[in-house]
Amino acid sequence: MEDTRNLVDEYKGLSNEEVFDRLAEKRSALEVAIENISHDFNAGTIVRNANNFNVSKVHIIGRKKYNRRGAMCTDKYLEIVHWETVDAFVDDQRARKREIVAIENNVKSRGLKAIVSKPIEEKKFKEETTLVFGGESDGISDELLKKCDDIREISSFGSTRSVNVGVASGIAMYEWAKQNLEK
């Protein structure tokens, strides 16, 4: 019977548990967090991107349920942790000495004068980083933005102020990977 899952050849024919275990042997230090997610396709896309970069964990902050269709079953190969509150998530990150980096283009338009986002391409990422993404419509909450160590944005060169959050997650994970994964 042919294995029709979207897996590289190395993992074809293995059970989901075996794929998870083999990936766990070589996980990157990167973690990803998603807050304010809704039932849109984007949360699943972020999870799928997280699998592609073999992140250590995906954190879901707030509402637990998301549209898994976009993940293409890749959530089976990742550790996904749910946090009911921003404080619980931040406490975990601080206890493990992780840098929390928000990816948020919407800061200026929200009137958060004390919070400034800087271009992602100027960021020197630490290995122990957790990238935070918000829902497509609401973005990252003010509460969480104020607790992040850094806020980065993806530059826009056209008329739209930002790329889709699923796309943004792939760009941000790639920027981290360029600096932290050996070629």
Q: pTM surpassing 0.85?
A: yes
- Average pLDDT over the chain, rounded to an integer: 88
Q: What is the pLDDT of residue 114?
A: 65
d(CA 89, CA 59): 8
Structural domains in the chain plus CATH codes: 9-180 (3.40.1280.10)
Given a contact cutoff of 8 angstroms between Cβ atoms, the answer to whether 35 and 66 are in contact is: no
Q: What is the pLDDT of residue 183?
A: 56
Q: What is the mean pLDDT of each run of 10 residues along the chain (183 residues)?
A: 88 94 96 83 87 95 66 78 96 98 79 78 97 88 94 89 90 97 72
The model's pLDDT over 15-49, given as tens digits with 9 standing for 90+, comes to: 999 999 999 999 999 999 999 777 667 888 899 99
Q: What is the pLDDT of residue 109?
A: 57
d(CA 108, CA 143): 16
Listing from the earlier edge strand, what are the strands of the sheet with 31-35? 80-83, 57-61, 31-35, 129-134, 99-103, 150-153, 118-119
